[in-house]
Amino acid sequence: MSSSTHPNCQKLIQRVAEFLSEVENLTPGRDLEERLNRQYGPGNAFYDDFARLIRAGLDGDEGWVATDEVQGPHYRRTRVSPPTEATRFCSITTVYMDPCAAAGGDEEVLRGQYHLHPYGEINCVIPVADGAQLKGMSGWQGAGWTSPGPGTHHYPEARGGPVVALFFLPAGRISYAASPDAPQPISI
C-alpha cells in the first residue's frame, strides 16, 4: 500500500500535474513518444525531477514507490494517485522491475503481466542502474519515454538492470483481460 502522504510523493504528484498540464491535449502513441523523448527526456526539468524523486523514494525506502509485489520483490507496482482534476484525470503508477534479481543474476529479460491500454499510456522510463531498459511498443527504451497508443496491448519487459516505469493512464484505465493473440490497433 502506498504512503501517498510522504513529502516526496506529494512533490512528485505536483510535478506530474504540472507536466500533464503541458501535454494534456496530446494523444498517446508513437508521435507523442517521439516528442516526449525530444523535448522532455533526461536534462529536462520534469524528467530530472521525476527521476530524482523516484530514486529518493527507492533509496530511502519511503514506502510509496512500487511497494506492492506482483511477482515477488523484483516486480512491484503501486498506484501513487488515482485520476484527479489536478492530474488531468490520469492516474499515476510506479512499477519496479529488476530482471537481474528475477533471473538470479543473469542478464535476462523480465516479462510482466500482459495488459491493454484502453486510452493509451504515457510512461516515464527511469533506469535505476546504468544500461537498464524497458520495452515499449517501438522497442527498447533507456532513460526517456514510451507512449503506447489507445488499444495497444503487450507484456511489459525490462532488461539490463532495475528500472522504474512511472506511468500515467488516462482515466486510470488499464485492462489485464487482454490476449496476446488479439490484433494490435492500426496505430500504435
Collapsed DSSP state (helix, strand, coil) of residue 25 = coil
Place of cell 509485489: 69
- Tens of pLDDT, residue by residue, the chain (188 residues): 445 689 999 999 999 999 999 999 999 999 999 999 999 999 999 999 999 999 999 999 999 999 999 989 999 999 999 999 999 999 999 999 999 886 665 558 999 999 999 999 999 999 999 999 999 999 999 999 999 999 999 999 999 999 999 999 999 999 999 899 999 998 65
Contacts of 178 (CB under 8 A, 6+ apart): 114, 115, 116, 153
Report which of 74, 69, 73, 54 is spatially closest to residue 126, judged by C-alpha positions.
54
How far does CA 141 lie from the centroid of its chain? 12
Q: Which residue has the cell 527498447?
A: 140
Which amino acid appears at position 137 of this protein? M
**Global pTM value:** 0.93
Instruction: Using the structure block, give the residue that is written with the C-alpha cell 520534469.
Output: 46
